[in-house]
């Protein structure tokens, strides 16, 4: 996905007369590739899809975030010239970041699960979940491994095993509402910040055209990244006829892409990436998020049943 978006973005920018180095186009491809798991689950909660497909989409989105942040960090280091861009170095860094993140996430999630299982006080258990996130992410930064991957793994462990075995109904209700509120607040802050940033960008028709051209490019890359693995996994994984469309059109871009774009260093490439990110995320949230139910309902009527 990063390669398709980055390569296409570079070609379109050159055709429009915008000089954007290929490495910075790949950085944009990495930051715009991750989907927003909370937004995805929000829209799928309203859409009529199977629980298995919902779980698959949620898991894919969580790991997509973590891996996307790792790829973004590797490419950003190469773009800034702080690290050499080579296959060996990139693979080693990816293994360190992602592999270490998985191990730390399993450890942090298990500790949080055991702590929650030993008590039945919803306020304490909410604080434990917060401590897992804050402490785990801080430790990941110190160990130079991926905090997003670690927290995704810890969240999956606590969200599945912890919710089922270690929480009362009251605790589960408070915990889910607490993190939903945190997510809403952080997303509001992120969109406010990018809104303030785009006001300062000197918009011109070429920049708008590049951002609009990035929309079908992102959807194309998402389609390739979804259809190819599903074709390989079809004999062992049955997700239904609407799985490809759900994963493609339901793959909303949101807070992760905005946060990564805001973290780019100052320079011409930053303004271009911010503008394109703003346009793609706006389309994703408004158009894709607003039409997913109708798109799936129409597809359900027109896709022939499996013989």
Q: Is the pLDDT of residue 49 over 50?
A: yes
Distance CA 226, CA 243 (A): 9
Distance CA 63, CA 66 (A): 5
Looking at residue 220, its pLDDT comes to 94
Distance CA 8, CA 214 (A): 8
Q: Is the pLDDT of residue 136 over 70?
A: yes
Distance CA 61, CA 39 (A): 10
Looking at residue 238, its pLDDT comes to 67
Each residue of 58-106: pLDDT tens digit?
A: 777 777 777 888 888 888 888 887 666 666 777 788 888 888 989 999 9
Each residue of 273-297: pLDDT tens digit?
A: 999 999 999 999 889 888 887 887 7
* Side-chain half-sphere exposure of 160, counting CA atoms within 13 A: 11
**Element holding 149 (H helix, E strand):** helix 147-157
Higher pLDDT, 33 or 303: 33
Higher pLDDT, 29 or 191: 29
Tokens 């209700």 belong to: 173
Contact 12, 20 (CB under 8 A): no
Q: What is the DSSP letter of 166?
A: S
Q: What is the DSSP letter of 303?
A: S
Distance CA 249, CA 17 (A): 30
Tokens 């798109």 belong to: 295
Q: Of 43-57, 60-74, 142-156, 238-252, where does the model show the most confidence?
A: 142-156
Looking at residue 111, its pLDDT comes to 92
Looking at residue 30, its pLDDT comes to 93
Looking at residue 82, its pLDDT comes to 64
Distance CA 103, CA 135 (A): 15
Higher pLDDT, 44 or 180: 180
Higher pLDDT, 306 or 143: 143
Work out the average pLDDT over 154-174. Answer: 80
Looking at residue 110, its pLDDT comes to 93
Distances in Å between the Cα of 150 and the Cα atoms of 60, 118, 154, 167, 190 are 15, 23, 6, 22, 22
* Percent share of the chain, pLDDT over 70: 88
Q: Of 1-10, 117-126, 244-253, where does the model show the most confidence?
A: 1-10
Indicate whether this model's pTM tops 0.85: no
Looking at residue 298, its pLDDT comes to 77
Q: What is the DSSP letter of 220?
A: H
Looking at residue 307, its pLDDT comes to 45
Distance CA 147, CA 134 (A): 10
Query: What is the token pair recorded at 228?
Result: 């190819």
Higher pLDDT, 2 or 43: 2
Tokens 């190819």 belong to: 228
Work out the average pLDDT over 127-138. Answer: 92
Higher pLDDT, 232 or 266: 266
**Domains of the chain, earliest start first:** 2-302 (1.20.1530.20)
Q: What is the DSSP letter of 264?
A: S
- The confidence band for 44, taking pLDDT boundaries of 50, 70 and 90, is low
| Average pLDDT value over all residues in the chain | 83
Distance CA 23, CA 238 (A): 38
Distance CA 296, CA 189 (A): 31
């Amino acid at each position: 996905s990063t390669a398709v978006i980055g390569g296409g973005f570079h070609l379109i920018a050159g055709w429009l007369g915008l000089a954007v180095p290929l490495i910075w186009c790949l950085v944009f491809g990495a930051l715009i590739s991750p989907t927003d798991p909370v937004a995805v689950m929000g829209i799928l909660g309203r859409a009529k899809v199977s629980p298995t497909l919902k779980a698959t989409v949620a898991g894919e989105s969580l790991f997509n975030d973590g891996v996307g942040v790792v790829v973004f960090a590797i490419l950003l280091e190469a773009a800034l010239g702080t690290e050499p861009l080579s296959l060996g170095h990139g693979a080693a860094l990816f293994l360190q970041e992602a592999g270490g993140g998985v191990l730390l996430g399993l450890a942090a999630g298990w500790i949080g699960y055991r702590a929650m299982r030993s008590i039945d006080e919803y306020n304490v258990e909410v604080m434990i979940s917060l401590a897992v996130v804050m402490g785990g992410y801080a430790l990941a930064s110190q160990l130079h491994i991926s905090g997003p991957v670690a927290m995704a793994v810890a969240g999956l462990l606590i969200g599945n095993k912890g919710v089922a075995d270690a929480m009362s109904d009251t605790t589960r209700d408070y915990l889910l509402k607490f993190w939903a509120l945190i997510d809403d607040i952080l997303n509001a802050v992120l969109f406010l910040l990018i809104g303030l940033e785009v006001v300062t960008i000197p918009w011109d028709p070429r920049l708008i055209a590049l951002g609009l051209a990035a929309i079908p490019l992102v959807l194309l890359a998402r389609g390739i990244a979804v259809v190819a693995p599903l074709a390989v996994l079809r004999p062992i994984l049955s997700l239904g006829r609407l799985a490809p469309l759900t994963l493609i059109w339901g793959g909303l871009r949101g807070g992760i892409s905005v946060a990564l774009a805001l973290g780019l260093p100052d320079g011409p490439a930053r303004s271009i990436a911010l503008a394109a990110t703003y346009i793609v995320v706006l389309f994703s949230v408004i158009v894709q998020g607003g039409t997913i139910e109708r798109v799936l309902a129409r597809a359900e009527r027109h896709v022939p049943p499996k013989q």
